[in-house]
Amino acid sequence: MHHGEYKTVGGKLVIADFSVQDGQLCDVSISGDFFLEPAEALQEINDGLNGMPTSATQDELAGAILDRLSPDVEMIGFSPEAVAIAVRRGIDES
């Protein structure tokens, strides 16, 4: 299992837990003390990251999340970029 954490400027912690198979992220679980409306959008964030290659840049990871999110989703205290940093750290530091 890979694990990466990133604390946003506002103080919220974003945590990424995932596995890697054939160079791709799988079983991604993003967690933390952020706020998200609606709550179900957490699955969209995880789904956006599943299948991304471990070679993806921070921008590419953030873009994959944005592509998946419904337009009415509000991320409060974190952002696609913050999630992407946590994931990158989980890839690089494990």
Partner 1 sequence: MTQKRTDWRDYDWQLIRGAPVPVEMNHALDEVLVRRVGAGKRPPTFRFWDRQGPEIVLGRFQSVRNEVQIENCEADGIRINRRITGGGAMFVEPENAVTYSIYAPPELVKGMGFADSYQYLDEWVIEGLRSLGIDAWYEPINDITSSGGKIGGAAQARRHGAVLHHATMAYDMASTAIPRYLRVGQEKLSDKGVTSADKRVGPLRLQTQMDRLDIIEHLIETFRQRHGLQDGQLTEDEVAEAEELVRTRFGTEEWRYLLP
For the chain, counts of helices (H) and of strands (E):
3, 5
CB of 55 to partner 1, least distance (A): 24
Instruction: Quote the least distance from Cβ 14 to partner 1, whole Å.
Output: 9
* Site residues, partner 1 (CB under 8 A): 5-7, 9-11, 13, 15, 17, 29-39, 42, 74, 76-77
Q: Which is nearer to partner 1, 37 or 92 (CB)?
A: 37
Provide the 10 A C-beta neighbour count for residue 38: 11
Rg value, the chain, Cα? 12
For CA atoms 67, 69, 72, 74, give the dihedral sign: negative
Is the CB of 19 or the CB of 53 nearer to partner 1? 19
State the minimum distance, in angstroms, from the CB of residue 1 to partner 1. 10
